[in-house]
Amino acid sequence: MPTYTVTVATGNQWFAGTDDYIYITLMGTGQCSERTLLDKPMYNDFERGADLGEIVLVKIEKNKYWVQDDWYCRYITVKTPGGEYLEFPCFHWLVDEKEVVLRDGRARLCQNEKTMIAKKHRQQELDMRRRTYKWQEWQPGFPMSIDADKHKDLPRDIQFDSEKGVDFVLNYSKAIENLCVNQFMHMFQSSWSDFADFERIFVRIKNTISEYVMEHWKEDFMFGYQFLNGCNPVVLQKCTKLPDKFPVTHEMVAFCLERDLTLEEEIEVLEGITPNSTDPCTMQYLAAPICLLYRTVGSKILPLAIQLSQVPGENAPIFLPSDSQDDWLIAKIWVRSADFHVHQTITHLLRTHLMSEMFGVAMFRHLPAVHPVYKLLVPHIRYTIAINTKAREQLICKFGIFDKANGTGGGGHVQLIQKAMKTLTFKSLCFPDSIKARNMESVEELPTYFFRDDGNKVWDATKSFVSDVVNIYYASDAVVQKDEEIQAFVKDVFNFGMQASESCEFPESLKTQEELTEYLTVVIFTASSQHAAVNFGQYDWCSWIPNAPSTMRKPPPTEKGVADVKLIIESLPDRGRSCWHLGAVNPHSFYFCNAFCEKHSENIHLELSLQEGVLGEQVRYQRGSTVYLSLTCQVVFTLRHYVDLFKIIRV
């Protein structure tokens, strides 16, 4: 009699084990085994009946023992009578009395399925997924997200293991308590006395970089450097002609010029956005400034002129370095505050979190677990949908944490995303194209733009690996075109995720291996490296509150000569909002800030030959670019996981 030996691996999450009855059935090309209870002592064989043939599927069932007890299964291994070991990845929660049917770990395209039982299982899995993962428009004009109002409404497989780990209110409160700043919360609307007062709460979380920011934030070189390598290094663009709405004359800035080249940084997206009015006792204000920056002979980027309005006129003076120290300082603070809002809402939330969720929902709906692209993408989508759902539940919702501390709270952040969606394109998510679109690709002109240089290396390394994987399974462009599942995935992103917006220029189909490679690189890069670059630097650049105010409590000055230290302090966030701000940027306050690193920390290996070109220059940039280190860490985690994954999908 043939004997099949089964090994079952339970996950290491909290409460992954179960006391319920677990049954297993092996389904082969010849016939099926009997439904067998796994926990019979010393009983692990399936000798009844004839040879099952080639094992195609493994069915697992869970029946209640006393009360329902969920079980997380990692994988099933089957040793056949011939001594062959087959591994059936699971990575699913079995809840209630539902069953899970598994395929072995080898990746297959839909057109390569040979048996009817495999084809039927593939279709049944997708049918079930489409019933489970549905689209929803959370706000008009937003990219579509998953149809779930609360974290607990999500499918069990994509929930966090511990919801407390991503409770924003709880984590904010813990962060504030750990920072020992909760004694200021009762003075929520009272202003600080002077800049030294900010140090009373800053001292608890300072590090080498943030302390350097605190010491130099008033200086022009630090102001300009952050547009290159701060936590929002994606808005600076080269200009050769000033806009008519920014009437800077040569006479105004001639004393600062070293040659004819000028640069501008426009943050006009904030124009027309409604400021936070949720607190009737505290007025809050926004501005849409225009800032002209200049590259010196020594390659420093220095501010040259600032206008705090998009409409020129008597009430919109152009502030210059030659103005009084306080006038020039408050103008720079307004630019930094505007940049903070653009970073938080557009660069970070929209262009990494919401985009990744959109790709993730479409992936679950159209790519079965056996598909090679599913195996490639799923590590990067992990927890993205869960954290976004939690954010919509507690962070960016009405009366959420954004409303408590941010100047764009109360609906302004929604308007910002709606406005930004009108100009978001697929090519803007392709890192090299985004750099070229801003005319920032020249290393000779900007030799210290580390975000560009490091990002290009990471993009190229990621794309190279994706290309290798694509070429294994797609021997030609014709194979790409015949893959109905990958085409449905791409079409779903366009039709539903981007709501068929022609201006977004997302592809509706893919025709070549190169197009598929670029598309998958965008998905992976957006969810991993790009997110790392704009997320992890918040602690360094934003913990010193005057350098990145989350709100401004006085309107932008409409004339020169009125600013003094008192006006600046009264404009900056009050004591309570400062505490909320620090709770946000504290790296331990959000699970998602370090979620990727935490789940892959055991896989950090720096010996990857693929990354020698990037890692070899880490020391050189360590002091100059936090972004560099973030990108490096992220891509090492990512590519190490690729190596492990590659061993599975290449079988």
Other beta carbons within 10 angstroms of residue 200's beta carbon come to: 16
Strands (DSSP E) contained in 64-104 are 71-79, 85-94, 99-103
Q: Is residue 155 a contact partner of residue 92, using CB atoms and an 8 Å limit?
A: no
Convert 166-190 to b/e letters by CB count within 10 Å (16 or more is b). bbbeebbeebbeebebeebbeebee
Tokens of 174: 């813990």
483 annotated as a binding-site residue: no
What burial letters (b/e) apply to 22-45, b meaning 16+ CB within 10 Å?
bbbbbbbeeebbeebeeeeeeebe
Confirm or deny that 83 is annotated as ligand binding.
no
How far is the C-alpha of 449 from the C-alpha of 433, rounded, in Å?
16
Residue 386: both structure tokens together: 């869960």
The reply, when asked if residue 70 is annotated as ligand binding, is: yes
The answer to whether the annotation marks 279 as part of a ligand binding site is no
Q: Which of 121, 158, 172 lies closest to 576 in space, CA to CA?
A: 172
DSSP string for 524-542: HHIIIIIHHHHHTTHHHHH
Rounded CA-CA distance 189/326 in Å is 23
Amino acid at 386: A
Measured CA distances, 295 to 254, 329, 362, 440 (Å) = 14, 20, 43, 12
User: CA-CA distance, 373 to 377, in Å (whole number)?
Assistant: 6
- 348 annotated binding-site participant: yes
DSSP assignment string, 394-432 = IISSTTSHHHHH-TTTTTHHHHHHHHHHTT--SGGGSHH
Dihedral sign of CA atoms 154, 155, 159, 161 in order: positive
Q: Do β-strands 36-37 and 71-79 pair in parallel, antiparallel, or remain unpaired? A: unpaired
Tokens of residue 53, six digits: 């043939």
Residue list, annotated binding site for Fe cation: 348, 353, 531
Residue list, annotated binding site for Ca(2+): 17, 39, 69-70
Residue list, annotated binding site: 17, 39, 69-70, 348, 353, 531
